[in-house]
Structure 1
Amino acid sequence: MEQLSRSLKLKNLPAQVTYEYQDHWPEKVVQFGEGNFLRGFVDWMIHELNKQGLFNGKVVAIQPTPHGKVVPKLNAQDGLYTLALRGIENGQIVERNEIISSISRGINPYSNWAEVLKVAESPDIQFVFSNTTEAGLTYLEEAYDEQKSPLSFPGKVTAFLYHRYKVMNAKPDAGLVLIPCELVEGNGDLLKELVLRYAKEWKMPEDFITWINNDNQFCNTLVDRIVTGYPKDNIGEYRNLLGYEDVLLTAGEPYHLFAIEAGDDVTKRLPFHQAGLNVKWGPVTPYRELKVRLLNGPHTMMFSVCYLAGVDTVLEAIQDPELGEFVKTGMIEEIFPTVKMEEEEKRAFVESVIERFENPYNKHFLADIGMNAIYKYKSRLIPSLLDYIRHTNKLPQSILFSLAALIVYYRPTRKEGDFLIGRRGNDEYTIRDNKVALEVLANAWEQFENGGEDVTRLTRSILEDNELWGIKLNEIEGLTELVAGNVSRILQDGMKESVKKFTKANV
């Protein structure tokens, strides 16, 4: 089977694959990272702009780590790859397969730093995108050598900007718009802070630092799309569908959200919204709260309840009558009212979340959602819990049932290495969390198992720990008793029966 490239007879593609390619456009974007997410998100968006004649520019992808394997594959395919989007959109199952042509080439900076610096000299370059994971947006002490690529991502950006500053004589219009996509709050501010730190420690001129501050924009962002990457489990099906070999085939969901804090000039030069893309220009915080509360919050609320009830994935959970009802009730009746945003936009987001949960192509495992679940509960659900109580003077029943389920999920049968081992029926599962959380839960359950505590004391000893929850939850009137009652029922009746009774009583 022939490999995807420009030499492939792309006019004879099957009807299920779309393709538009133009190669005469200049490189306008430098991208640090070439992984699945950027190719399934940013590069797809640039491709959409190009198709509609709204950008007419290409992306240069820079390999972020010394051991990357994508750049050779990308260049072998002339920058082309297929994006397969599968899921539910507006109530309909959609399957789109499109060859993306927005990337011009990839560069390995560790073997070809001079080529990266040539890109820095180009007056056509306007934007820098990145996704180097949370670990990439950190400081690494290293020396500056203008002949070699720095190892860290912020170091590369600093060296890239410094070379551009020198070659282009510090002109204001040589400044770039930097749009990091790492899942870190205030990612643009953090990147700028790191660049300035490197500039000072590498003793670069004060005029360069002034140019960074005055003539370059660092944008805070929020990104949201599930990109699962190369579909190795069903690659045979894709090969038959496409009719060619694509080693960079990337799969993802149709839903996408990109919130960007930037000036009006950026919105004009990157008119994502004109292309019909779900890009929100302006403050990121409201969209971060929307995502954390109404997507991540329900994930955390469902995982222990549904896993202990016997299902393994989000799809199985949402399709189960009682479990699905539990999740939707908690999300719509308890979390939804606490989110500060226009009603119409909130409702549209909730509908999209439910469609994403029901996506038959994504295997989102509840056990994965359960990693570091105490911290996730603290950051994703405690704010909604407190706001709900503040607004209604009532306790949120679903959120607190999920808290009881979380406590039961953390009941260990034994310890193995740094983690605890729990049991679901005849199966064991690994409880992964930070050392403090595991110790608190393990000690509380040990006291209970040894007969030193009843369920109420067990629950209180866990809820009173301020370090776990950021608040002494046991001081909220009636909360400990409600959670303890749910813990007791789950232990006595099992999770599946407890959810059934809970749903009948509260829905």
Structure 2
Amino acid sequence: MKHKTARGLDPLNKGWLRDHRPDESGIEQVPERIVQFGEGRFLRGFFDWMIHRLNRSGHWCGRIVAVQPTPRGKVVPVLNAQDGLYTVVLEGLQNGKPLREVELVTSISRGINPYEEWEEVLKLAERREIEWVVSNTTEAGLTYQTEAYSPGTAPLSFPGKLTAFLHRRYEFFSGAPEAGMWILPCELVEDNGDVLRDLVLKVAGDWELPGSFKRWVENSNVFCNTLVDRIVTGDAGERADELFEELGYEDRLLTVAERYHLFAVEGDPELKEHLPLHKAGLHVHWDSVAHYRELKLRILNGTHTLLFAPALLGGCETVSEAMKTKWLHRLATQALDSDILPVLEGRRSEKKRFAEDVLERFANPRIHHRWVDIGQNGVTKYHSRLLELLKRWKERNNRIPDTLAFSLAALIRFYQGEVVDEGVIRIFLNGSEDLMREKPKTVSFFADVWAKWDGTPGGLEQLAAETLKNTEIWGEDLCSSIPWLHERVSVHLQRIVEQGIQQASSQLEI
């Protein structure tokens, strides 16, 4: 008698695959060609899903061995119980209409806990057919950590594990150049490939590994800078029973993501022929990452930052809700069309398409992206994402882009909130309390300037001037470096205070 789960369903594993999809059960014969440090939902919903698509396209043939990145991981036992199988549910909009795709992903062969089976990880380094290393160990994973190395024990850090892995490969293949690997870090760190290479070399120095090994690391391995973009929201949540019933099995690793995806990889021209993701119809670019990082930073992240303060001041909780709110949707489209896209490099058609994709992603009703979460460290994000655009307009024709000035005024108004701790303000949204974090000095500054405000329009003008002149926040005096910015921010701030955010937005200049 077959085992059933507590829900009375079959568990997902290779037995289920053989019984219900016998034409796919041959996946067990596909060779392992990628070692992946990380087994979390992002990689499952992004890179591993891509490899599944690539396998099905017939342009490549390979599977992934997933290595648990930290001692606290809980995914590997479940992954192995399901024989590496899991489901991806992609939800989003296409031409404004909801669309859902469900796929049973077969690209992972197994998982390994390196803290219990470190030698199993190192044995992978001895297999020539395994040519790729992929990782997503979060931004914290690409940091330096001093640690000793005992060959029989897994290092705690990811750079340490990779150094030990590469050293085993170097020794096993006697330093052969052709034994080098292609390495694709997916952590959200600028120049992540360069950063990871430098960390490996630093660890190799700490461990006093031979200079010939370090030269092999530098000359025979390709560390690619990458940029990844997809929102992977998590598991089935409250819809688990409904989804499992629909699937006909219970999947404890079911992964829900948006339909949109972007993978930019910087590397040798031959790279894309060795892993031809683009031939599977995937949104992959094999060229400079900097261009796509700029598009993402200014269009996606920048629009998030531009909208968060107006949205919260207007009582709007989520991004998708904002896209259904006429004045906020108008603010987003006006900002993109008039003030953001014109000062970005690249083809107009490419920028326009990227912006259209962003707005469609924002409108996705399945992605519950809260403005409170987006707005954490909002002043710091304005500085890194939008201030540069103000400077570009100043260089071009001394124009002050009105939506950027309006957003800055809304940001100043937003930071009138109640300070409850160092670097923390309290806000109330639709009857619930939320805490917003920012640099302590920034929070303290806004508390002081708002406490001094005398309630007059002149006082608001002075408040705006003090904010823009604060070199600790902006790194420069914006009243001097961007003429007329103070005038526009003051006008918007007065309207927001006197009329409310929605009415003030209706008076934006186009």
- Paired residues of 1:89 and 1:254 also in contact (CA < 8 A): no
Partner Cα separation in structure 1 for residue 271 and residue 246 of structure 2: 39
**Cα RMSD, aligned residues only:** 1.9
Of 6, 10, 15, the residue aligned with 1:7 is 15
Partner Cα separation in structure 1 for residue 58 and residue 143 of structure 2: 37
- Paired residues of 1:19 and 1:100 also in contact (CA < 8 A): no
- Paired residues of 1:378 and 1:470 also in contact (CA < 8 A): no
Distance 1:395 1:452, change over 3 A: closer
Deviation per CA, 1:345-398, whole angstroms, max 9, x where unpaired? 111111111110111111010110000111110111111121123224211001
Tell me whether 441-450 or 400-409 shows the greater mean CA deviation.
441-450
Task: State the one-letter code of the partner of 1:6.
Answer: K
- Paired residues of 1:89 and 1:255 also in contact (CA < 8 A): no
Residue 290 (structure 1) aligns with: 295
Residue 483 (structure 2) aligns with: 477
Of 495, 500, 506, the residue aligned with 2:501 is 495
Task: State the one-letter code of the partner of 1:487.
Answer: L
Say yes or no: does 1:506 pair with 2:509.
yes
5+ residue gaps in structure 2?
Answer: 1-8
Residue 420 (structure 1) aligns with: 425
Partner Cα separation in structure 2 for residue 270 and residue 91 of structure 1: 33
Moved >4 Å (runs of 4+): 9-13, 18-21, 423-428, 449-453
SS at match of 1:274: helix
Q: How do 1:76-475 residues align onto structure 2 when only pairs under 5 Å count?
A: 76-416=81-421, 418-423=423-428, 428-448=433-453, 454-475=459-480
CA-CA distance at 1:91 after TM superposition: 3.9
Deviation per CA, 1:316-362, whole angstroms, max 9, x where unpaired? 11111111101110012110111101112111111111110111111
SS at match of 1:129: strand
Deviation per CA, 1:220-268, whole angstroms, max 9, x where unpaired? 0100000011121322221222121000000001101111011122111
Partner Cα separation in structure 2 for residue 305 and residue 104 of structure 1: 47
Tell me whether 82-91 or 209-218 shows the greater mean CA deviation.
82-91
Partner Cα separation in structure 2 for residue 166 and residue 38 of structure 1: 30
Partner Cα separation in structure 2 for residue 487 and residue 423 of structure 1: 20
Distance 1:252 1:10, change over 3 A: farther
CA-CA distance at 1:308 after TM superposition: 0.8
- Paired residues of 1:80 and 1:99 also in contact (CA < 8 A): yes
Identity %: 44
SS at match of 1:192: helix
Task: State the one-letter code of the partner of 2:28.
Answer: D
Distance 1:411 1:265, change over 3 A: same
- Paired residues of 1:81 and 1:99 also in contact (CA < 8 A): yes
Partner Cα separation in structure 2 for residue 31 and residue 294 of structure 1: 30
Distance 1:47 1:287, change over 3 A: same
Partner Cα separation in structure 1 for residue 467 and residue 121 of structure 2: 53
SS at match of 1:22: helix
Of 25, 28, 35, the residue aligned with 1:30 is 35
Structure 1 length-normalised TM: 0.95
Structure 2 length-normalised TM: 0.95
Task: State the one-letter code of the partner of 2:35.
Answer: V
Distance 1:324 1:11, change over 3 A: farther
- Paired residues of 1:423 and 1:429 also in contact (CA < 8 A): yes
Partner Cα separation in structure 2 for residue 240 and residue 359 of structure 1: 24
Tell me whether 474-483 or 357-366 shows the greater mean CA deviation.
474-483
Distance 1:357 1:451, change over 3 A: closer
Partner Cα separation in structure 1 for residue 151 and residue 75 of structure 2: 25
Task: State the one-letter code of the partner of 1:431.
Answer: M
Tell me whether 445-454 or 463-472 shows the greater mean CA deviation.
445-454
SS at match of 1:377: helix
